[in-house]
Structure 1
Amino acid sequence: MSKRVLVVNDIPGAGKVAANINIPILSAGGLEVSILPTMFVSTQTGESYANIIRHEMNEDFKRTVEVWKANDIHFDVIMTGYFSTTEQVELFTQYYREEKRLNPELILLMDPIMADHGKYYPGFDHQIAEKFSALMKEADIVFPNITEACFITNTPYSESMTVEELDKVSLKLIESGAKYVAITGVRLPDKMPDQIGFYVRGHNDYQKLLMHRYYPQHFFGTGDIAVSSTTVWYSRGLSIEESLVKTGSIIEQSLDNTLALNRDIKWGIYFEPTLKEFFPQ
């Protein structure tokens, strides 16, 4: 049976991040995809691009949700990424709670995009962390990076956290209400210098370190691949561990394909050939 998934994220006109990664992966995985745009940007917002156009979808964001309610449009799975304002997070949280009451089986996977390397992204501060903390209580899986996990839990930030420190932070997130937490971008260079991956925590003392190959280059979009791929597998009924192991393989092969092109990395990750292997029609 096909499932309908809603993507809540920004849309770049050019650049392989956000919805430009979410939609093809989710579609290749057999899900029927709809999108609630939070912002339109002319290109991805990395340092390689200048004169970027941004258009926040604030009023249209609210009106779109109202139209869906009026037309009895509902979803089986919702995956969230970038919100451009705290008001959008508030509106979506209210909308999700209403949808969850109508369908207790509704699944929410959440990437609380707001910060990295110990700093908030431009335009964000502690208020967005507070709003994400409220939404996180509704989530089946939350995918914060280390900075976001620290900010949401008011934990002092450290880029090189030990497994014990990661477990303490993830436990705080679980105690806040999320079903599972998968902290992304985890590295233990002293013990596993060629690995990167996820620290996963759940209820009943479930905890797991799931690693895949580390690449020294900085790629935009790996997080979007991770959340999108996991959404596919998890919505198909696989466990979070099985879903993340498959996701790690997709990331590895996609980055290998990208480097084989020998082109400027700003053009994005060449993940398309990987989809044919992992999601055969």
Structure 2
Amino acid sequence: MTEQRHILLVNDLPGVGKVATAAMGPVLSHMGFSVASLPTALVSNTLDFGAFEILDTCEYMKKTAEVWKRLDFHFDAICIGFINSSEQIEIIRELIENQRETLRFVIADTIMADEGKLYNGMTGRNVESMREMIRDADVITPNLTEALLLAGEDPGQYDSLSHREIGCVMRKLRELGASSVILTSCHVPSEDRYFVYGYDAGSRSVFRVPYELKGTRCPGTGDIFSAVLTGGLINGKTLEDSTREAVRFMSGMFEYLGDREPGYMGFPIEAYLAELR
């Protein structure tokens, strides 16, 4: 019998809505992984509603990490999402260092912005925190708006860049200390097509995966993409193959959704898990 792999989700935990830990957990559990969580914040609901309450869990994170160290808990991968403060970064860094014996991947999704602007409740402080965090990750998965913010560029140009210019943004992220990079939500207006861009630090290869934009914006899409990508990597797939599988799954997910509008609740992921390979 194959030993079960253990994944730690370091992300916020919503009370209402299928985003962050609530979206990633079901995907990774369905793929056969043992999933643990270390909430960076308790959030009343998805931020899209406009009204929300956030409880910082920094002290809880610190004490939990200390307990886990004493109990000798180990993980094969750590997936990092929403970070609420720079203090949390130090807690996460120490946690990563304590896990080096078994840790295969650290994947960071720099959750803070989309469509040229920061999410509700996000500030420049979040950008700085994420800029620090990317140096500790093996793979980062920002969307193009987040990548521009991290690179110190104008996020308003997210919908107007060429292939060459997107490549320059990816290079700037590597100069900031990022290792492998996946850029999502990249629209190239000269072709009127969407792509996911990738740089694999291991093979030093660059790739891009085209996809069709279907339906309306759905909260939690990036979280589900990151979960499928992570599962592929831990199962031994290359970064490019894992990316292609994540794109395939997301495309099918939106086809399944059709004209139904998920609103601010996020995608009902449990209804589509059977399509995971």
1:126-141 aligned within 5 A: 126-141=124-139
Match for 1:241: what amino acid? E
Segment drifting more, 211-220 vs 122-131: 122-131
Gaps of 5+ in 1: none
Query: Structure 1 residue 64: deviation in Å?
Result: 1.0
Alignment of 1:1-12 (within 5 A): 1-12=3-14
**Residue aligning to 2:223:** 224
SS in 2 for 1:55: strand
User: Secondary structure of the residue that 2:12 maps to in structure 1?
Assistant: strand
The range that moved more, 131-140 or 161-170, is 131-140
Aligned residue number for residue 253 of structure 2:
254
1:111 counterpart = 2:109: yes
Q: Does 1:99 align with 2:99?
A: yes
What CA deviation, in whole Å up to 9, does each residue of 1:169-209 have, x standing for no partner?
11122233333101111112331x3x433111233641111
1:237 counterpart residue number: 236
> Which of 26, 29, 37 is equivalent to 2:28?
26
Deviations 1:16-67 (A, max 9, x none): 1111111000001111000001111222111xx3642322212112111111
* C-alpha distance in 2 between matches for 1:94 and 1:129: 21
Matches within 5 A, 1:141-160: 141-157=139-155, 158-159=157-158, 160=160
Q: Provide structure 2 residue ranges, at least 5 long, that are not aligned to the other structure.
A: none
Aligned twin of 2:15: 13
**Offset at 1:162?**
1.1
Distance 2:264 2:14 in 1: 13
- How far residue 258 of structure 1 moved from its aligned partner, in angstroms, is 1.9
Secondary structure in 1 matching 2:91? helix
Structure 1 residues 150-229: aligned runs within 5 Å: 150-157=148-155, 158-159=157-158, 160-191=160-191, 193=192, 195-203=193-201, 205-229=204-228
Identical columns (%): 29
Matched residue of 1:37: which SS?
A: coil
Looking at structure 2, the residues matched to 38 and 130 of structure 1 have their Cα atoms a distance apart, in angstroms, of 16
For 2:82, the equivalent position in structure 1 comes to 82
Question: 2 CA distance for matches of 1:230 and 1:205?
Answer: 18
Task: Report the TM-score when normalising by structure 2.
Answer: 0.90
Letter in 2 for 1:222: T
Q: In structure 2, how many angstroms separate the alpha carbons of the residues matched to 1:220 and 1:64? A: 28
- Distance (whole Å) between structure 1 residues aligned to residue 263 and residue 152 of structure 2: 34
Match of 2:42 among 37, 40, 43: 40
Which one-letter code corresponds to 1:186 in the other structure? C
User: Does the aligned pair in 2 maintain the 1:200–1:208 contact within 8 Å?
Assistant: yes
Q: What is the root-mean-square deviation of aligned Cα atoms in Å?
A: 2.0
TM-score under structure 1 normalisation? 0.88
1:264, 1:200 → 2: CA distance?
A: 29
What secondary structure sits across from 1:60 in the alignment?
Answer: helix
Alpha-carbon distance between aligned partners in 2 of 1:50 and 1:174, rounded to the nearest angstrom = 34
Inter-CA distance 149–50: structure 2 relative to 1 (3 Å threshold) = closer
Aligned pairs, how many? 272
Give 1:111 shift. Answer: 0.4
